[in-house]
């Protein structure tokens, strides 16, 4: 399928008609187990933790969308990151972007570090800092770009070059961009991670995650993780993500258009400080965004001055919903310090640059004029 363009892939990769009935939608295979054809022989599936026909279709689609060797669907984005770090052993060193989703930091700081894995947070926007942090035992560099919520970019190609020169692999959390707007594997990374909860599902009606590997060794490892650790995506969730993927190119176009319009509006508003949106020329890494992304997406954040101002804004919005998460059709606004980064200590948040007034926006696919009017009236309450 790799000869096809993106929207064709989104509709057709992994989504061919059911060979048994011709159904144009991937059937839901709600079966935990499969009849074997003999002793040690089967029709391709034996037990759904190891593999399920509906999940296989989604995994094929994910691999095609990211240009990878294999896709692996997990029960959440966090389960996918948990699967990723099973590549590491006690004594290994992991470099992670400093401005990373709070849940990723919670997993690393409260669970993974107890397995003897050394975790170091580095400003991955600075390739020299990444190079300087590499140790003889560094095995993986995990990058989130753009980052959450400050929209800091890391140069995937440059980091991959530095890492590969030392035999280190690079994984990229591509959740904020979706496979449509950024192709980390094509830029040189080794593994892509997604919270499918966001743009891939796109309708805020499920939780899921994915890893897309680029080598047969990744496939072997992540299949083992799915079978041995068991954090697999359910067939129903796979069905929802497959359904979401079909309209993802259209949704992303609208997300993008609205994102640009809202960012332009906010960029001149006197009550909005430190607006972070890579599509604005004023973003310090706008050139890198143009180089490595295929669009600017619809995520942004800004500082409203104080926690009280953020609370007033979130209390006044009418179309935007005061809710965590992103990438769904509806616009959301959230207070970073008490939601996505609630598990990060106040001192660490200061170090990360996440102020008490920081509000993150996920721009949905509503009419942009309505969204701007809603922001206008909510900012008037600040």
Ligand X SMILES: Cc1ncc(COP(=O)(O)O)c(C=O)c1O
Query: Least CB distance from residue 301 to ligand X, whole Å?
Result: 12
CB of 380 to ligand X, least distance (A): 29
Q: Using the rule CB under 6 A, which residue among 29, 34, 45, 101 binds ligand X? A: 101
Residues 290 to 349 in contact with ligand X, rule: CB under 6 A: 325
User: What is the signed CA dihedral for 59, 64, 68, 74, rounded to 10 degrees?
Assistant: -20
Strands 209-213 and 70-74: antiparallel
Catalytic residue (choose from 92, 155, 173, 190): 173
Q: Is position 253 annotated as part of the catalytic site?
A: no
Q: Which is nearer to ligand X, 134 or 172 (CB)?
A: 172
- Residue number with CB closer to ligand X (10 or 73): 73
Regarding 144 and contact with ligand X (CB under 6 A), the answer is yes
Active site residue 101: yes
CB nearer to ligand X: pick between 67 and 342:
342
Instruction: Say how many residues touch ligand X, by CB under 6 A.
Output: 15
Residues 55, 98, 139, 198: which is the catalytic one? 198
Catalytic residue among 101, 121, 199, 277: 101
Set 6, 46, 49, 106: catalytic member: 49
Among 15, 197, 226, 285, contact with ligand X (rule: CB under 6 A): 197
The number of beta carbons lying within 10 Å of the beta carbon of residue 287 is 12
In SS3 terms, the chain reads as CCCCCHHHHHHHCCCCCCCCCCCCCCCCCCCCECCCCECCECCCCCECCCCCHHHHHHHHHHHHHHCCCEEEEECCHHHHHHHHHCCCCCCCEEEEECCCCHHHHHHHHHCHHHHCCEEEEECCCCHHHHHHHCCCCEEEEEEECCCCCCCCCCCHHHHHHHHHHCCCEEEEECCCCHHHHCCCCCCCCCEEEEECCCCCCCCCCCCCEEEEECCHHHHHHHHHHHHHHCCECCHHHHHHHHHHHHHHHHHHHHHHHHHHHHHHHHHCCCCCEEEECCCCCCCCCHHHHHHHCCCCCCEEEEECCCHHHHHHHHHHCCCCEECCCCCCCCCEEEEHHHCCCCCCCHHHHHHHCCCCCEEEEECCCCCHHHHHHHHHHHHHCC
Interface segment toward ligand X; rule CB under 6 A; list 74-82, 255-263, 283-291, 313-321: 74-82
Q: CB nearer to ligand X: give 15 or 197.
A: 197
CB of 241 to ligand X, least distance (A): 11
Q: Whole-number minimum distance, CB 213 to ligand X, in Å?
A: 17
- Starting at the edge strand found earlier in the chain, the sheet holding 321-322 runs 273-276, 299-303, 358-362, 332-335, 321-322
| Closer residue to ligand X, CB minimum distance, 83 or 209 | 209
Q: How far is the CB of 80 from ligand X (least distance, A)?
A: 8
The answer to whether residue 124 forms part of the interface with ligand X (CB under 6 A) is no
- Residue from 51, 68, 77, 188 touching ligand X (CB under 6 A): that is 77
Binding to ligand X by residue 209, rule CB under 6 A?
yes
Whose Cβ is closer to ligand X: residue 112's or residue 309's?
112
CA-CA-CA-CA torsion sign (190, 178, 196, 362): positive
Residues in Cβ contact with 321 at an 8 Å cutoff, skipping those fewer than 6 apart: 330, 331, 332, 333
Least distance CB 327 / ligand X (angstroms): 8
Residue of closest CB approach to ligand X: 77
Tell me whether residue 207 or residue 354 sits nearer to ligand X (CB atom). Answer: 207
Residues 149-188, one symbol each (x = binds ligand X by CB under 6 A, - = not), give ------------------------x-xx------------
Q: Tell me which of 76, 97, 154, 234 binds ligand X, using CB under 6 A.
A: 76
The distance of closest approach from Cβ of residue 121 to ligand X in the complex, given in angstroms and rounded to an integer, is 15
Binding site for ligand X (CB under 6 A): 76-78, 101, 103, 144, 148, 173, 175-176, 195, 197, 207, 209, 325
Catalytic residues, by residue number, are: 49, 101, 173, 198
């Amino acid at each position: 399928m790799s000869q096809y363009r993106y929207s064709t892939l989104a509709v057709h990769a992994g989504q061919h008609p059911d060979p048994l009935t011709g159904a144009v939608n991937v059937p839901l295979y709600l079966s935990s187990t499969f009849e074997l054809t003999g002793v040690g022989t089967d029709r391709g599936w034996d037990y759904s933790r190891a593999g399920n026909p509906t999940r296989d279709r989604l995994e094929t689609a994910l691999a095609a969308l990211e240009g990878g060797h294999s896709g692996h669907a997990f029960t959440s984005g966090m389960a996918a990151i948990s699967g990723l770090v099973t590549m590491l052993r006690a004594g290994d060193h992991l470099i992670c972007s400093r401005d990373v989703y709070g849940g990723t930091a919670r997993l690393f700081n409260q669970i993974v570090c107890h397995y003897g894995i050394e975790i170091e947070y580095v400003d991955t926007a600075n390739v020299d800092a990444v190079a300087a942090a590499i140790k003889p035992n560094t095995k993986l560099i995990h990058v989130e770009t753009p980052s959450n919520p400050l929209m800091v970019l890391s140069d995937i190609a440059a980091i991959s070059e530095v890492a590969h020169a030392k035999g280190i692999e690079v994984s990229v959390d591509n959740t904020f961009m979706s496979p449509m707007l950024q192709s980390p594997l094509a830029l040189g990374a080794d593994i892509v991670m997604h919270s499918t909860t966001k743009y891939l599902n796109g309708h805020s009606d499920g939780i899921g995650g994915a890893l897309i590997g680029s080598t047969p060794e990744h496939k072997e490892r992540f299949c083992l993780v799915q079978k041995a650790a068991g954090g697999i995506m359910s067939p129903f969730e796979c069905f929802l993500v497959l359904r979401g993927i079909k309209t993802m190119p259209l949704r992303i176009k609208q997300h993008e258009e609205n994102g640009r319009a809202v960012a332009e509006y906010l960029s001149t508003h006197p009550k909005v400080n430190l607006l972070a949106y890579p599509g604005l020329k004023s973003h310090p890494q706008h050139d890198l965004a143009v180089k490595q992304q295929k669009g600017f997406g619809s995520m942004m954040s800004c500082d409203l001055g104080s926690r009280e101002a953020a609370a007033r804004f979130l209390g006044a919005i009418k179309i935007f919903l005061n809710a965590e998460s992103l990438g769904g059709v509806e616009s959301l606004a959230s207070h970073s310090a008490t939601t996505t980064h609630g598990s990060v200590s106040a001192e660490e948040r200061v170090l990360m640059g996440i102020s008490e007034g920081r509000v993150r926006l996920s721009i949905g696919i509503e009419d942009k004029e309505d969204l701007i009017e809603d922001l206008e009236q909510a900012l008037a309450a600040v």
